Chain A
Amino acid sequence: MKKISSRQTAVIACVLLFANKILVLPSLLYEYAKADGLFVMLLLLFAELLLLMIFFRLKHKFPDSSFYEIIKKNTGAFLAKLIFFLIILYLFYKILLVYNVSYMYFRAQVYLDAGFYTFVLVFLLVCNSCVMRGLRSLSRCMEFFFTFIIVCFIFCLLLSIANFNKFPIFFDTNILKFMESGFRHIFCFGDILLLFLLMDKIELDKKGEKQITVYVLTTILLILILYLMFYSIFNYTSFVHKNAISDIITFSYRFTDLGRLDMVAIITVMFLSLFQISIALYVFCDCFVKLFPPLNKVYGLVAFDSMFLLLIFISSIDYIRITYFGTLVMPYFALILQYVLPVICLFFTIGGGNEKNKR
């Protein structure tokens, strides 16, 4: 099997880190932690970095094994299947959340009159086709647009500098609120878990590890700058601004001179959300195949599309319900899968040498 390069892995990690965190999350974090949401973000992004280190360790120990094989080897087939079943549900909800956040954003910004079908059609067609093309093509596509995405993102940050007045007031909340803010929205983090699930398809060496770490650190820095800008521009009204990356530009002084420059942010979010959903959907199908070995990824796609459409149309799940469910039930679920599971896997790496060297 042809694997993806370490740069492509780095790009996937960055895209996963960006998406989900640059729209509604800053305002959601503010509701509990006020401007300290920035530190919540810092803390949870640091956790992502730790997850990345665990991923390197695991990859070093089991260079050619899949995450499923590692779990199966150490815990048994039944538990592995159970974990992967939970991961499938987790991924499904993650996609649903990203979809809904993006949907709300586009609806508010550029699709004032468009029907619901427009979004469903585009997301499903694009993401399904990306999955069918395979991970290599998808990661190459992401690599192709990565520079464009980063340039657009930095452009948005630069535009917002004009509105930067003063630093927000930090440490305005107590530790409980701080922790609660982080815990309630923990589901929006832990995207590095997807790298664990793709580990058998990744080519990694020491240089590659360094490259991925640099890319992830840069992304973390950019996200933190966005949060700093956001809280400094909106201060006490941060909680009402649900579209962070767009809102920081919309209120820029340069905005009226040059026209609607938030189009740059909108296009960036379009790329990021489509990429994130595609990669999550790919992992979803990969897990599906591992769970039901005789079936291929087409069945995974059919299963996902059916569940997705059923939920969207019949149950009329909307953004509010999705988010509510996400903050109420999913944090426990996410905590186990995103953090506890990788930490348990860390124990699997203790003792013995490199699996490849042994062979």
Chain B
Amino acid sequence: MIFNIEKQLNSLKKELNNSIDVSTRMIKTATSQKVGLIFLRSMIDNQLFLEALCKPITDSTEKLNIDNLASKFVKVGDVQKIDVDDACENVIKGSVVIIIEGENKMLSADLQKFPARLPAEPPTSAVIQGPREGFVEDIKTNITLLRRRFYTKALVLKELKVGRYSQTKIIISYIKGIADKKLVQEIIERLKKVDIDGIIDSQYIMQFLEKKPHSLFKQVGSIEKPDIVASKMLEGRVAIIVDGSPIVLTLPFVFLEDIQSSDDYYNAYIYGGFIRIVRIIAIIIGLLLPATYLSLRIFHSNVTPIKFLVTITNTTKGLPFTPFFEMIFISLLFQILYEVSLRLPSYLGLATSIVGALILGDTGVKAGLISPPGVIIVALAKIALYTVPEQAYQLTILQYLFLFVGGSLGMLGIVGLVIYLITYMASIDSYGAPYLAPFAPRIEQDLKDAVLMTNIKGMKTRPQSFKNKNRTRQK
């Protein structure tokens, strides 16, 4: 089919529903040859459009055809010949589609550009020492951040499109020769089966990748820093980059991963091991302290140390609430303040803190509504959970569950719930990796980087808790 430029431009514009950001141009070369352009104003780099695309056309003194025109666009990233059927799709992606009179093919020049922030340190993965750049919403930048860490052809990036309307670009990235092929295939198969109207963020994908989607526990790694993703990929994991999301997913995932931080590897390994123990203690405090306090007050006052018991008795005398409701009340108060401080503009944050800490906390105690030990215990427990920010939401729910069980069934209930949860976690399998590995089942080799870690020289093999090729990391 030989194109009539005007007719073709109108037809394409119509196909794009005459949206307001669809632009068409008809420009002429020095020899008055007509060239038609169609693009989305909102999706292209305007400067590049004028300098790298329009100027070579208008300056051209020779008769243009699809082959010699393509060679003129040296400043444009990706130029390809396309059929008329692919024109709209290319326009939508941020390409300028060029129509030359007398040709039966079109030319697509990638000039995509949209507002994007620069890589910055992510708020949840701040480090004292080590790389500070984090992923951004732009998938190209994210790929670059990853590529920079692997100057090897073994880095594989496979593209998938998910979402009927959003057509979200998803990149599956792994290192050939380390990642297990079956694992990659399984992930691709799962993603191919996703049939949804749109993928807005990687969290959408996460839920499709989880094998127990109704579980409270996170089963897919979510990382905001390229250095961490790179280290996971070196272990044989697969990274999933979703366009529009600064969070990269990794698989397989084990519970221990969130207790580890990139900081642990950038500092002295002894300190790294120590700080991991602190995090575990913080989780235990966060989950069990309010529940234990409650069970001691309600059921087991006979095992409470006498001095502690006297202090509690003195400070809780005359409280209008039962111990259980007091703890629930303080916990909810904290939760509300937390939620408010998240949603409020930052300039109101200080005011919220004052209201929370001074007015509600201090006045609540003075008014005899809540007790000082209750406030201290809840505050300590709530703060402790944020030593593992990636799991904080899940752990918060568990904290309430423990509080309820501790208040109604005592220590035996707490121990029972712990057993129930651990048995449940032990039943989770994340793409071949037991969720509680390397503790249950015990994998001796992986214990070198579990809680107490060894130095990098000592980590000679890749993790054995999941399948990967080429186990040797260093000789």
| Inter-subunit contact A137/B410 (CB<8 Å) | no
Residues of chain A with a CB closer than 8 A to B416's CB: 122-123, 125-126, 274
Residues of chain B with a CB closer than 8 A to A145's CB: 419, 422
Stretch in contact with the other chain, from A53-61, A109-117, A190-198, A237-245: A109-117
The answer to whether A144 and B302 touch (CB under 8 A), given A130-B419, A271-B419, is no
Residues of chain A with a CB closer than 8 A to B434's CB: 140
- The SS class assigned to the A binding surface is helix
Stretch in contact with the other chain, from B210-218, B359-367, B423-431: B423-431
A145 to B419, CA, bound (A): 9
Residues of chain A with a CB closer than 8 A to B441's CB: 5, 7-8, 140, 143
Closest to A124 in B: B416
A145 to B439, CA, bound (A): 9
| Interface residue? B299 (CB, 8 A) | yes
| Inter-subunit contact A140/B426 (CB<8 Å) | yes
Stretch in contact with the other chain, from A33-41, A72-80, A88-96, A261-269: A261-269
A interface, size bucket: 35 or more
| Inter-subunit contact B422/A141 (CB<8 Å) | yes
A120 to B423, CA, bound (A): 20
Q: Which residue of the partner chain, among A5, A122, A129, A144, contacts B426 with CB atoms under 8 Å? A: A144
A14 to B351, CA, bound (A): 57
| Inter-subunit contact A114/B410 (CB<8 Å) | yes
Q: Which of B410, B412, B422 has most A Cβ within 10 Å?
A: B412
Residues of chain A with a CB closer than 8 A to B306's CB: 259
| Interface residue? A320 (CB, 8 A) | no
A89 to B107, CA, bound (A): 82
Closest to A134 in B: B427
| Inter-subunit contact B439/A143 (CB<8 Å) | yes
A267 to B426, CA, bound (A): 21
Closest to B292 in A: A263
| Interface residue? B116 (CB, 8 A) | no
| Interface residue? B393 (CB, 8 A) | no
| Inter-subunit contact B419/A137 (CB<8 Å) | no
Residues of chain B with a CB closer than 8 A to A129's CB: 420, 423-424
Within 8 A of B (CB), among A1-38: 5, 7-8
A213 to B360, CA, bound (A): 60
| Inter-subunit contact B427/A144 (CB<8 Å) | no
A137 to B422, CA, bound (A): 8
| Interface residue? A119 (CB, 8 A) | yes
| Interface residue? B413 (CB, 8 A) | yes
Residues of chain A with a CB closer than 8 A to B299's CB: 110-111, 113-114
| Inter-subunit contact A118/B440 (CB<8 Å) | no
Residues of chain B with a CB closer than 8 A to A119's CB: 412
The answer to whether A111 and B303 touch (CB under 8 A), given A137-B423, A143-B442, A274-B415, is no
Residues of chain B with a CB closer than 8 A to A136's CB: 426-427
Within 8 A of A (CB), among B288-309: 299-300, 302-306, 308
Closest to A129 in B: B420
Question: How far in angstroms is the closest Cβ of chain B from A159?
Answer: 15
- Interface set of B (CB-CB < 8 Å, partner A): 299-300, 302-306, 308, 409-413, 415-417, 419-420, 422-424, 426-427, 434, 436, 439-442
- Complex A-B: 17 CB contacts under 8 Å: A110-B302, A121-B409, A122-B413, A126-B419, A130-B423, A133-B423, A136-B427, A137-B427, A138-B426, A140-B423, A140-B441, A143-B440, A143-B442, A144-B422, A266-B411, A267-B415, A275-B419
Q: Which 6 A-B pairs have CB atoms at the shortest separation, nearest pair first?
A: A259-B305, A140-B426, A140-B440, A137-B427, A144-B440, A126-B416
